[in-house]
Structure 1
Amino acid sequence: MTLCLALAGCGGGGATNDKDAKEAFIGSWKLAGMITDGEEATPEDIAMLDAFGMSVGLNVNEDGTCALIMFGEPLDGTWEAKSATEAKFTIDGSPITATITDGKLQMDEDGYAMTFERGEVKTDGGATSDAKAATTDKNTVAVDKVLVDDENCTITVLNKKQDLLDDCGYTFKVENKTADKTILFMAEYGTFSVDGQMVDFTLTETVKPGMFAETFGYFDSTKIADIEAMKNVAGTISLMDNDNYETIASYPIEIA
């Protein structure tokens, strides 16, 4: 039996050099689901992590190196493919087995059960506000369209642009018209589409009562490469009480 196991191990090692096996894992993976100590994260929880620069994801490189992004911080490691559906990762000195099922990558380690799907992982936590408002944008086109105007808020899209980091999206002016609530403006996870294709969209901004802010919301750059592709955009922006995260209102928006 020991001999059989040894031979099986040697056979598995050979798959490490299999190009197809490696390509199944190589690339960027973003968090799609997570269970921590029996508690399952909702899509809204994951979107909140992304919005506040606490993303979870996995970058797998062809040279055998990798990085597990945990709440915005990269943990370096190495990896090798055992087959097109199984790989061994060593992250920060700890071995982790990963499997791919139905196009999604799963990891279980130290009370975490994480599921990833293909997508970009951002680690620049402040990118949703000041960094995205840089004046060295590559391309900007004025829009100036009021999307929402009621007793809670006014939301105006000022322009669409491609910024210095090649992220494409919209600059919004968001005004908090309430008298006593600090409001969190946020794009609802899984609601945005571009010309009929579902595309992840990141937008978050906190505004105090009676004040306004300009903020940049951007699309997944692996799906939207330039602002010319931003046509027939639809999605939902939520208003949340920043103190208790209760939803105040949800606004479906459309931008031609």
Structure 2
Amino acid sequence: MNVLAIGCHPDDMEINCAGTLAKCAKRGDKVVVCHVANGNMGHEVLMPDELRKIRIGEAKRAGELAGIEVITCDIGDLLVNGGDMDQRNKIIDVIRYADPDLIITHAPTDYMCDHVAVSRLVFDASFAATVPHYGTGKAAKVVPLYYMDNLAGHGFNPTEYVDITDTFDLKLEMLECHESQLKWMRDHDNIDFADFVRTCAKYRGLQCGVQYAEAFTQAFVYPKVQPRRLLP
């Protein structure tokens, strides 16, 4: 099975669904992660051009740990626009390249504008990519769309959980590849990266009776819903 996870910034997938993606890779799935934004604004000292290169490299190293291919649309932070046709076309190209059997992205209720914009872009592109005469390349399949947990779980009502107890340590290793963000998250968001992720995973695990879990819900729209479980 082909799994495509489209997140906003480098590290968003590690925070919210890396345990699940690692399980997908372990069961033999081809997993592609696409970062729409390049993360160039996530630092108080490093300038955007320098940080962009660092963060793209950090994301690729994180993916390598789990056997995941990592690509980027390379859009600047705070410039992601859910109604931008050029950006939507980039996502369409990514979907057609990855040929996914399922797509994971941000929920439309997530905490900041870039994340919300990515959710809109992916929702729109996931349909447009299936239209044969739109754009270039072979049309993609109609596939289920999953929303991953909001940051800290605010306003998110899961309908599916994935037990990531066996991949949680790998999830942390992947997260720790994003060294440039450790101080930024402390200074800007007042959180310890690893502790934050552990707490969220334990909370979702408590809800479903395991040590660590990640939470998801589907986009319950026709014709994306299928009568079988696709998440590991």
TM-score under structure 1 length normalisation: 0.24
Bigger radius of gyration: 1
Q: Which has the larger share of helix? A: 2
Structure with higher RCO (Cα < 8 A, 6+ apart): 2
Question: If each structure's strand is expressed as a fraction of its own residues, which one has the higher value?
Answer: 1
